Structure 1
Amino acid sequence: MADLLSSLLRVAEKAANVARVCRQESHLFQLLVQEKKGDDKNKKFIQDFKTLADVIIQEMIRHDVEARFPEMAGFINGEESNKFENGLGESVTVTVCGTEEGTAKLLATVLDGDHTAASLLAQAIHQDPQTTHLTTEGLTLPLSPSELGIWIDPIDATSQYIEGREEVLEEGHLFPSGLHCALVLIGVFLRSTGQPVMGVINQPFNYKDPAGAGWRGKSFWGVSCGSIKACSESRPKPGPGGGLSVVLSSSEKPVVKEALSSLCGPDKLMYASGAGFKILCVIQGLADVYVLSEGSTFKWDSCAPHALLLALGGGVLDLTQSLKSSSGAQDQLTELTYHQPYAEYKGADRWANHGGLVAYRDCSQLRKVMETLKGKL
Structure 2
Amino acid sequence: MADLLRLLLRVAEKAANVARVCRQEALLFQLLVQEKTGDDKNKKFVQDFKTLADVVIQEMIRHDVGAQFPEMTDFIHGEESNKFENGLGESVTVTVCATQEETAALLATVLNGDNMAASLLARAIHQDPVSTDMGTESLSVPLSPSELGIWIDPIDATSQYIEGREEVLEEGHLSPSGLHCALVLIGVYHRNTGEPVMGVINQPFNYKDPAGGGWRGKQFWGVSYGSINACSVSQPKHGPNKSRGGGRGLSVVLSSSEKQVVKEALVPLCGPDRLMYASGAGYKILCVIQGLADIYVLSEGSTFKWDSCAPHALLRALGGGVADLTKCLRSSEGTEGHQAELTYHLPHNEHQGADRWANQGGLVAYLDGALLCAVTGGMRGKL
TM-score (structure 1 length as normaliser): 0.94
For structure 2, the residue ranges without an aligned partner over 5 or more in a row are 36-46
| Residue equivalent to 1:199 | 199
| Residue equivalent to 2:251 | 245
Contact 2:76 2:150 in 1 (8 A): yes
1-side partners of 2:83 and 2:167: how far apart? 35
Number of residues of Structure 1 aligned to a counterpart in Structure 2: 366
Deviation at 1:263, TM superposition (A): 1.1
| Residue equivalent to 1:288 | 294
Contact 2:32 2:51 in 1 (8 A): no
Structure 1 position 273 matched with structure 2 position 279:
yes
Deviation at 1:365, TM superposition (A): 1.1
| Residue equivalent to 2:175 | 175
Instruction: Say which SS state the counterpart of residue 18 (structure 2) adopts.
Output: helix
Deviation at 1:34, TM superposition (A): 10
Moved over 6 A (4+): none
Identity, % of aligned pairs?
79
Q: How does 1:49-60 map to 2 (within 5 A)?
A: 50-60=50-60
Partner deviation per Cα, 1:10-55 (whole Å, 9 max, x = no partner): 00000000000001123213334799xxxxxxxxxxx999521100
Instruction: Say which SS state the counterpart of residue 203 (structure 1) adopts.
Output: strand
Q: How does 1:246-261 map to 2 (within 5 A)?
A: 246-261=252-267
| Residue equivalent to 1:297 | 303
Instruction: Say which SS state the counterpart of residue 130 (structure 2) adopts.
Output: coil
Deviation at 1:92, TM superposition (A): 1.9
Q: How does 1:214-233 map to 2 (within 5 A)?
A: 214-233=214-233
2-side partners of 1:344 and 1:198: how far apart? 28
Q: How does 1:350-361 map to 2 (within 5 A)?
A: 350-361=356-367
Q: How does 1:315-354 map to 2 (within 5 A)?
A: 315-326=321-332, 328-354=334-360
1-side partners of 2:192 and 2:143: how far apart? 12
Partner deviation per Cα, 1:78-124 (whole Å, 9 max, x = no partner): 00011123344433211000100000001111222121211111011
309-318 or 168-177: bigger deviation: 168-177
331-340 or 25-34: bigger deviation: 25-34
Deviation at 1:276, TM superposition (A): 0.2
Two-structure CA RMSD over aligned residues (Å):
1.7
Q: 1:34 to 1:191 in 2, by over 3 A?
A: closer
| Residue equivalent to 1:107 | 107
1-side partners of 2:171 and 2:276: how far apart? 16
2-side partners of 1:329 and 1:179: how far apart? 38
Deviation at 1:231, TM superposition (A): 0.2
Partner deviation per Cα, 1:132-156 (whole Å, 9 max, x = no partner): 2311001010100000000000000
Aligned residue type for 2:229: K
Partner deviation per Cα, 1:220-263 (whole Å, 9 max, x = no partner): 00000000000000111222315111000011110111121221
Aligned residue type for 2:276: M
2-side partners of 1:107 and 1:150: how far apart? 25
2-side partners of 1:15 and 1:61: how far apart? 8
Contact 1:259 1:373 in 2 (8 A): yes
Contact 1:79 1:153 in 2 (8 A): yes
| Residue equivalent to 2:71 | 71
